[in-house]
Chains A and B, each alone.
Chain A
Amino acid sequence: MASVAIVGVGMSHFGKHPERTLVDMAGEAALLALKDAGIKPSQVELCFFANGLASRLFGDFTIGQNVFWEVGINRVPVVNVENACTSGSTALYLAYNAVAAGQAEVALAVGAEKMYVPEFGLINSGQSELDTQLGLVAPASFALRAVRHMTEFGTTPEQLAQVAVKNRRHARHNPLAQFREPVTIEEVLSSPMIVDPLTRLQCCPIADGAAAAVVCSSNFARQLGRAVNIEAVILCSGNYESPQNLTSWETDYRAFNLAYEKAGIGPEDLDVVEVHDAFTISEILHYEALGLCKTGEGGKLVAEGYTELGGRWPVNVSGGLLSRGHPVGATGIAQVCELVTQLRNEAEKRQVEGARIGLAHCMGGDKAGDTKSCTIAIFSV
């Protein structure tokens, strides 16, 4: 297996962009990533395009070919990727594996989503699935985890809210994030109740946006500079067994352990982390699975400031999904953009000083009380 690096990243502004098409935003991100890498479109040998919802919302499919042709890439293989909220990170997984296997020297992974459409409603895990027909919507599956975590471990509403407060504080310094105004614990808890105990400001907002990353062999990267190494990219699916423990998510723990093993590191080595904070409770569960604290102590970890910029393990210094918004297909690559920026020491006011190892984590889909997909990527300089 060849070693693999990222040499260019780019993303569009995440927010409400009714005037922009999906292809337009994805093309912007792709061009920014190519420019950042200092390579020409003709040097890209393999392309992956991630999107979760356009087939449902717009009746569009095989969009990747449209995106890559828009930026001047044709003839090379294009793969369209859908893996729910891990669509973008799965595109990275495929690009990484292809380059590591020697299938290409340079691959381009782009993720994009357009969600601000009338009557968008709530995301579910597939319209014909039994749980969906019984009323399961994405926020409810996390509320059920929150209620159980509060019952078993005494996690408080204020600790949950602290995740949203922290991530908004971080987003203030991220010009590409959708929501950058600070919020207080009181404001988070008094925003409208969506699914008890999760209020609106504890649920990630929808967004229109795109992100891109240029993945290449380490040999190729040496000609370019500013490369960030990929130490591991892993993709796990759920176990779907009953009973599921809603507070310590086996699939999440298994994915983190596998990633640590592949990269040859442990939680003590992490400098900067982006996790899938789709809801405030998610981030707390992921701290525990990551090994930043014991199971049940995630609420205390955030309340005591350990995961704040300047703390022991800064988590979601980009603002996370809670502030950036969650354009489903783009999120996994937006996390990569943040970590590459951090490890290059180019994050300015939100820079984690001396960051050398970063970890990105995404989760997607819901099946039988488990997640369908979990991805982890570990980067280093």
Chain B
Amino acid sequence: MLGSEGVIYSYTIIRTKAPLGLPNPYSVGYIDLARSSLRIFCLLDPAAIERLQVGLPVRLVVEPLGDDGHGSPRLRPYFTPRG
């Protein structure tokens, strides 16, 4: 219903020791969803750190990101640049 697309409202890159088995560095942001008025917090694709900017179109994926803190891959939702 809410769709999986949106644009970045704000973002940051966390460069201190990452919690929860997240990669170092990792990124988070607020996304304005395209198909609703909601603005939601989520992880952003750490492979796209160089491309992140306010207004960038993104879509939600669920892919392995970091590990579960015990060495096994962990699936997480995150937004990645569209196209």
Q: Does B40 contact A (CB under 8 A)?
A: yes
Say yes or no: A246-B10 contact (C-beta < 8 A), given A122-B19, A144-B29, A144-B30: yes
Say yes or no: A131-B41 contact (C-beta < 8 A), given A122-B19, A140-B28, A144-B29: yes
Please, how many angstroms separate the alpha-carbon atoms of A148 and B9 in the complex? 7
Q: Tell me how many residue pairs across A and B have CB atoms closer than 8 Å.
A: 80
Say yes or no: A144-B32 contact (C-beta < 8 A), given A121-B17, A369-B39: no
Find out whether the CB atom of A134 lies under 8 angstroms from the CB atom of B16: no
* Chain A, range 117-172, C-beta contacts under 8 Å to B: 121-122, 124, 131, 133-137, 139-140, 143-148, 151
Say yes or no: A369-B15 contact (C-beta < 8 A), given A135-B22, A243-B32: no
Find out whether the CB atom of B12 lies under 8 angstroms from the CB atom of A243: no
The proximity string for A residues 209-245 relative to B, scoring 1 for CB distances below 8 Å and 0 otherwise, is 0000000000000000000000000000000001110
A134 CB contacts on chain B under 8 angstroms: 28, 41-43, 76-77
Which of A135, A144, A151 counts the most B-chain CB atoms under 10 A from its CB?
Answer: A135
B40 CB contacts on chain A under 8 angstroms: 242
Find out whether the CB atom of A137 lies under 8 angstroms from the CB atom of B9: no
B42 CB contacts on chain A under 8 angstroms: 134
Q: Does A261 contact B (CB under 8 A)?
A: no
Please, how many angstroms separate the alpha-carbon atoms of A213 and B39 in the complex? 41
Q: Does B54 contact A (CB under 8 A)?
A: yes
B10, B15, B76: the one contacting A148 at CB < 8 Å is B10
Q: List 14 A-B contacts (CB under 8 A).
A: A134-B41, A134-B76, A135-B20, A135-B22, A139-B16, A140-B14, A144-B10, A144-B12, A144-B29, A145-B10, A147-B11, A148-B10, A196-B13, A369-B41
What is B's interface to A at a CB cutoff of 8 Å? 9-20, 22, 26, 28-30, 32, 37-43, 54, 76-77
A sample of 11 more A-B contacts (CB under 8 A), given A134-B43, A195-B15, A196-B13, is A122-B16, A122-B19, A133-B20, A134-B76, A135-B19, A136-B28, A140-B12, A147-B10, A147-B54, A148-B10, A243-B38
